[in-house]
């Protein structure tokens, strides 16, 4: 009888086993596709590849002893066939060869066996070998207070240890790790993820592999992606329930009152994912259908909660599929890129309760990341609750809603507009307002807002900024503004500019007053005690104000990244992110700078937005 083994049978040593157990009288046909798979696995340092190559060497010995006839047949798989191995391309090549040479297909792959039988081939299926699972070598670095272990070639082992909110990054070994040790760790992790029933490979790219093994998420980085082999293993050190948090009863009622849009925010390591897990388990226990969207999947939830990752490389595809599953709530971990926020918003508007995990250093920062990505008036429909986690506890909860009103600090009735009001959930006191002011979206802190020092109200800062921008659009020299209450401001300009700023019969300054809804008294620096401020840098319109630039909020549309620059039509501006130069552009007659999405510049802007950088435009 002639046999043709597939890759699984060769790796398991089933060919030599059959030769030794039976009086074999025939030819062993080895597909070149099998050799190619084994070579690729061995090059990756995987034990399966080396085991298979050792089996092929044993077959050579059997042939030399005259026990078998050995022949290599077929062709090497093409690159696209290797990439689509999971779709069965290489298995199909092997089946075709078994049919061509009228040989019995020897396999330890049950799917290959069933497909071959359906094709009418002679098949011999043998159970795959299973090895007793051993503990990962890196487990020796963990103790009860270790959240993550960080290993790298040429560096002493490091770990983050402590309790949530009180972690320290410390050495946990005296000897630096060698290249050989790191390769052993990496291969052990990847092989375990492939073979263990409790592990899987989350994603793999040249130089980076991320796996999940039981409760550990492990990233393996290799050159050229990294400058050395690096292994980072993270695991949760605590599992909580919603009852463990402050305001548990109120939060429970809020989550179950109706399906909501929630952002769970906090700094890295603050306990956001731990809280998200507690919420997911509570909702599941309360009779809600709960799913997750994660890349990579690392939330520690019960088996009743299905965890989904990217479908065909896109969370948008995952969302489309989830809408067919009809969950009551979906936990989205993590919402970071513009596409993530858009997907989050689409699912929320479809009626799904959404809970997103967002990196932010303040609760309000999480909500501001929606600005420019979601239409302003839709934000309260997308997110109505913000939970800020600090040191493992619920620090702040905000209620988000829309009111049509005059913004806080303004008095003119004709200034009434839709205002997003962010209230402290516990006290009911407003903490922030978000609205459109002179065609810009502004976030105004109110009294008692987190991190505010009280020296200057939020509306005063906004008014000062807008007045400066309006006056600088017509003045040629330096401009300084002093707010004198809710309804009045004093503007200081150079002597040569005052008549131009006021305009004929006061027409120009009256137009500015009407646009801003505030009375403006224009004076020269010579009328100001002390003249120009020390930071003005002299005349010429430069000074500190122009150097620092104007804070802008880019709007990301389907086709463009739009930077609003009203009042600077025709001017050349430098666009910066946290002070770092991005590009120079000319403001259009419509008062904006447009950059086509997909361009290198647009990608830089979107990445800066995702990082939470402050975007500024500096007139030249």
- Phi/psi class of residue 428: alpha, beta or left (left: φ > 0; alpha: ψ in -120 to 50)? left
Q: Which residue has the higher pLDDT, 298 or 273?
A: 273
Of 487, 520, 545, the residue at which a domain comes to its end is 545
Q: What is the pLDDT of residues 84-113, one digit of tens each?
A: 444 567 888 899 999 999 999 999 888 889
Q: Is residue 450 part of a domain?
A: no
Mean pLDDT of 575-593: 80
Residues 382 and 484 in one domain: no
Are residues 108 and 147 both part of a single domain?
no
Structure tokens at 270: 């603050």
- Higher-pLDDT residue of 136, 473: 136
Three-state SS at 170: strand
452 lies in some domain = no
Q: Look at residue 260 and tell me whether its pLDDT is greater than 90.
A: yes
For 527-537, write each residue's pLDDT tens digit.
Answer: 887 666 544 44
Least Cα distance to 271 among 165, 144, 387 occurs for 165
Crossing angle for the helix pair 14-21 and 47-64, nearest 10 degrees? 30
> Which residue range forms the structural domain that includes residue 368?
242-445
Domain boundary among 180, 203, 234: 234
Query: Over 80: is that where the pLDDT of 53 sits?
Result: yes
Are 219 and 291 members of one domain? no
Same domain, 397 and 518: no
Whether residue 451 is contained in a domain is answered as no
pLDDT at 80: 57
Number of domains in the chain: 5
Residue 302 lies in a domain: yes
What's the rounded mean pLDDT across residues 147-166?
88
What pLDDT score was predicted for residue 541? 39
Residue 256 pLDDT more than 60?
yes
Locate 77 and state its tokens.
């798989």
The total of other beta-carbon atoms located within 10 Å of residue 538's CB is 10
> Rounded distance, CA 66 to CA 52, Å?
21
Assign residue 392 the CATH number of its domain.
3.40.50.300
Torsion angle in degrees (nearest 10) through CA of 178, 182, 183, 184: 100
Let me know whether 220 and 291 are in one domain.
no
Domain stops at, among 125, 146, 172: 125
Pair type for strands 430-437 and 440-445 = antiparallel
DSSP 8-class letter at 486: S
Same domain (yes/no): 556, 569:
yes
**Band (79; pLDDT cuts 50, 70, 90):** low
Shared-domain flag, residues 141 and 290? no
Over pLDDT 70: what percentage of the chain? 89
Q: What band does 547 get if pLDDT is binned at 50, 70 and 90?
A: very low
Pair (246, 367) in one structural domain: yes
Average pLDDT score over residue span 212-226: 89
The whole-number average pLDDT for the span 213-239 is 89
Q: Distance (Å, rounded) from C-alpha 345 to C-alpha 348?
A: 5
The answer to whether the beta carbons of residues 107 and 5 sit under 8 Å apart is: yes
Report whether 398 contacts 431 (CB < 8 A): yes
Measured from the Cβ of residue 359, the count of other Cβ atoms closer than 10 Å reads 19
How would you label 540-564 residue by residue, b for 16+ Cβ within 10 Å and e otherwise? ebbbebbeebbebbbbbeeebbbbb
Q: Per DSSP, which regions of 316-384 are E strands?
A: 329-333, 353-359
Token match 């065909």: residue? 312
- Identify the weakest region by mean pLDDT among 7-21, 434-448, 467-481, 505-519: 434-448
Here the CATH number for the domain that contains residue 468 is: 3.30.300.20
Q: What percent of the chain stands above pLDDT 90?
A: 38
Measure the CA–CA gap between 203 and 313, rounded to whole angstroms: 10
Asked if residue 130 belongs to a domain, the reply is no
Q: Which of 20-29, 274-283, 360-369, 581-590 has the lowest mean pLDDT?
A: 581-590
Torsion of CA 107, 113, 117, 121, to 10 degrees: -20
In this structure, the answer to whether residues 230 and 247 fall within a common structural domain is: no
Q: Does 317 share its domain with 169?
A: no
pTM of the model: 0.59
With respect to residue 131, please indicate whether it lies within any of the assigned structural domains.
no
Q: Among 76-90, 108-122, 351-365, 429-443, whose mean pLDDT is lowest?
A: 76-90
Average pLDDT, the chain: 84
Q: Quick check: is 201 in a domain?
A: yes
**Domain-located, residue 574:** yes
What is the spatial distance between Cα 590 and Cα 587, in angstroms, rounded to a whole number? Answer: 8
Say yes or no: 388 and 535 in one domain: no
> Are both 329 and 438 inside the same structural domain?
yes
515: pLDDT strictly greater than 80: no
Maximum pairwise Cα distance, the chain: 113
Q: Domain containing 158 — which CATH number?
A: 3.30.450.90
The CATH number assigned to the domain holding 100 equals 3.40.50.1010
């Amino acid at each position: 009888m002639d046999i043709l083994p597939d890759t699984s049978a060769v790796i398991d040593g089933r060919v030599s086993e059959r030769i030794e157990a039976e009086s074999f009288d025939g030819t062993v046909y080895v597909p070149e596709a099998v050799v190619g798979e084994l070579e690729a696995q061995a090059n990756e340092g995987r034990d399966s590849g080396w085991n298979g190559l050792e089996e092929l060497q044993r077959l050579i010995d059997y042939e030399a002893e005259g026990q078998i006839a050995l022949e290599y047949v077929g062709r090497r798989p093409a690159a696209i066939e290797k990439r689509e191995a999971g779709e069965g391309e290489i298995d199909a090549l092997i089946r075709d060869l078994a049919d061509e040479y009228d040989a019995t297909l020897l396999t330890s792959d049950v799917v290959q066996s069933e497909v071959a039988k359906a094709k009418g081939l002679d098949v011999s299926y043998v159970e795959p070998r299973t090895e007793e699972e051993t503990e990962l070598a890196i487990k020796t670095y963990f103790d009860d207070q270790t959240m993550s272990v960080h290993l790298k070639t040429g560096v002493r082992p490091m770990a983050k240890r402590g309790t949530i909110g009180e972690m320290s990054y410390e050495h946990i070994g005296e000897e630096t790790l060698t290249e050989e040790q790191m390769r052993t760790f990496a291969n052990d992790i990847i092989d375990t993820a492939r073979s263990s029933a409790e592990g899987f490979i989350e994603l793999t790219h040249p130089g980076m592999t991320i796996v999940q093994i039981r409760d550990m998420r492990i990233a393996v980085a290799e050159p050229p992606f990294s400058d050395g082999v690096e292994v980072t293993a993270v695991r949760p050190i605590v599992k909580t329930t919603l009852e463990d948090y402050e305001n548990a009863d109120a939060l429970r009622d809020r989550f179950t009152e109706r399906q909501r849009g929630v952002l769970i925010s906090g700094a890295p390591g603050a306990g956001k994912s731990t809280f998200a897990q507690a919420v997911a388990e509570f909702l599941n226990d309360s009779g809600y259908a709960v799913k997750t969207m994660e890349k990579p999947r690392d939330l520690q939830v019960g088996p009743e909660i299905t965890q989904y990752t990217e479908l065909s490389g896109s969370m948008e595809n995952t969302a489309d599929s989830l809408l067919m599953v009809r969950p009551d709530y979906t936990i989205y971990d993590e919402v970071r890129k513009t596409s993530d926020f858009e997907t989050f918003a689409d699912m929320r508007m479809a009626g799904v309760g959404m809970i997103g995990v967002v990196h932010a250093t303040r609760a309000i920062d999480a909500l501001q990341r929606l600005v420019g990505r979601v239409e302003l008036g839709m934000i309260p429909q997308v997110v109505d609750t913000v939970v800020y986690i600090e040191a493992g506890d619920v620090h702040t909860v905000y209620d988000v809603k829309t009111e049509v009103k005059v913004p806080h600090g303004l008095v003119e009735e004709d200034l009434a507009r839709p205002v997003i009001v962010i209230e402290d959930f516990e006290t009911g006191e407003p903490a922030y307002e978000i609205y459109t002011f002179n065609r810009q979206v502004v976030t105004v802190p109110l009294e008692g807002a987190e991190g505010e020092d009280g020296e200057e109200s939020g509306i005063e800062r906004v008014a000062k900024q807008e007045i400066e921008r309006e006056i600088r659009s017509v003045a040629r020299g330096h401009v300084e503004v002093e707010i004198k209450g809710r309804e009045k401001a004093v503007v200081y300009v150079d002597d040569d500019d005052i008549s131009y700023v006021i305009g004929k019969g006061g027409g120009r300054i009256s137009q500015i007053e009407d646009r801003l809804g505030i009375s403006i008294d224009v004076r020269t620096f010579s009328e100001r005690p002390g003249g120009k401020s020390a930071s003005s840098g002299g005349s010429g319109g430069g000074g500190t104000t122009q150097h620092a630039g104007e804070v802008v909020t880019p709007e990301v549309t389907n086709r463009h990244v739009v930077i609003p620059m009203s009042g600077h039509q025709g001017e050349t501006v430098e666009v910066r992110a946290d002070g770092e130069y991005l590009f120079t552009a000319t403001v259009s007659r419509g008062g904006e700078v447009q950059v086509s999405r997909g361009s290198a510049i647009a990608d830089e802007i979107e990445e800066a937005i995702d990082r939470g950088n402050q975007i500024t435009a500096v007139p030249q």
